[in-house]
Amino acid sequence: MSSCSKRSVELRRARPLLGTLVEVQVAAPSPARADCALRAGFAAIERVQASMSFHDPASDLSRLNRDGARGPVRVHPWLHTLLRRAQKLHAATDGLFDIAVAPALVRGGWLPRTATHAGASRATTADLVLLTDNRVRFRRPLLIDLGGVAKGFAVDQAVAALRRHGATAGIVNAGGDLRVFGAHSATIHIRLPESPGEFLALDALRDTALATSAHYFAQRRVQGTLRAPIFHPHLRRFAAEQRSVSVQARECWLADALCKVVWLAGPAASPILRISGAQARVLETPRQSSGREARRHAA
C-alpha cells in the first residue's frame, strides 16, 4: 500500500435529492476510496428516491398505488423491506403510525392529486399484503406515502454503502435526518418552534441517528386554521400544534418514523421509545408550554 492510502482522508459533497439537500462527509484510507464511497452513498440514495417517490409516476411506489388493489405488484426489495417495517410499527403503535394517510395529505395540498386517491380514505397500513418475491397487493384501495420514513431509510442505505466501499467514519445528513458512524461526531442545532431563526444545540452525536419533525415552513390553512402535515389517523385531523420533535435511535428510518408517533402520542409514546431503544426531545412554543423544552421522553 502507498503512504497515501495509510492516511485518513476526509471528503464532503452535497447533492439535491429527496426534496432536500443531502450532505455526505466521509473519512477513508485514501482519496480514491473516499471518492468511491461517496459515489456509492449517493447512488444508494438515488435508488431509494427512484423506488419510493410519491411524486414520480414511474416509481415502484406509484405503480403500487395505481395497481396494488388489482393484484400483486413486484417492487424493489428495499421498498418491500420498508413496507414490512412500516406494517410492524403500525401494529406496535395501535395504528398511530400509518403510511396510508396519503389521501388526507392530498386533500390538504401537501401531496399532488392522483387518480388513485379516491376511495382510499379509510384504508390503513393493515390493508397491505406482503407476499414472497418482493410482491405487494392491497386488500382494498389504498394510497401510500412514505414521506415520513423514506428519507431516514435512504440515510441508512447510504451509510451501509459508504461502509461497504471503505469509509471508516462519516455523516449523512438529508435535510435534518442524519446518521453519524465511526469516529465522527456531530453537534446538532434544532430550530425553536416559536422562533425558527434561533437554535437549540444538542449534545454531540456519535454512532447514532437523529430525525426531526418540525413544520415552521410547511404549514397550510385547512378550513381556516394553520395545520402541519401530520395527520392523526384516529382523530382524522391535522396537527395544529407548533412544535419540534427530535428522536435519536440506532437507525434513521426508525428515528424518522418515531418522530410522528411522538408528535401524536406525546408522553404515551414512552413505551414504544423504550422498546425501540430510542429517546425523544419535544420543543413547544411558550404558549403551549411553561418552558421552551416541554418534555423529554427517554428510553
How far CA 156 is from CA of 15, 198, 211, 236, in Å, comes to 17, 29, 12, 31
The per-residue pLDDT for 230 is 86
* Average pLDDT value for residue range 214-238: 75
Instruction: List, in order, residues 6 or more apart from 223 with CB less than 8 Å away.
Output: none
The per-residue pLDDT for 294 is 41
CATH 3.10.520.10 occupies which residues in the chain? Answer: 185-299
What torsion do the CA atoms of 83, 85, 90, 92 make, to the nearest 10 degrees?
Answer: 160
* Average pLDDT value for residue range 254-258: 97
At the fourth CATH level, which superfamily is domain 185-299? ApbE-like domains (3.10.520.10)
pLDDT digits (tens, 9 = 90+) for 93-104: 999 999 999 999
Q: Which amino acid, 141?
A: P
Res. 176: pLDDT tops 70: yes
Confidence of residue 287 (pLDDT cuts 50, 70, 90): low
* Average pLDDT value for residue range 7-34: 94
The per-residue pLDDT for 169 is 96
The per-residue pLDDT for 94 is 95
**Reported pTM:** 0.88
Half-sphere exposure of 278 (CA within 13 A, CB side): 29
Confidence of residue 223 (pLDDT cuts 50, 70, 90): low
How far CA 20 is from CA of 15, 72, 173, 254, 284, in Å, comes to 8, 32, 10, 19, 25
The per-residue pLDDT for 162 is 98
Confidence of residue 283 (pLDDT cuts 50, 70, 90): confident
The per-residue pLDDT for 227 is 72
Res. 43: pLDDT tops 70: yes
Higher pLDDT, 21 or 184: 21
Confidence of residue 146 (pLDDT cuts 50, 70, 90): very high
Confidence of residue 117 (pLDDT cuts 50, 70, 90): low
Res. 39: pLDDT tops 70: yes
Bridge partners (DSSP) listed for residue 173? 23, 178
Confidence of residue 187 (pLDDT cuts 50, 70, 90): confident
Res. 59: pLDDT tops 70: yes
CATH architecture of 55-138: Orthogonal Bundle (1.10)
CATH 1.10.3980.10 occupies which residues in the chain? Answer: 55-138
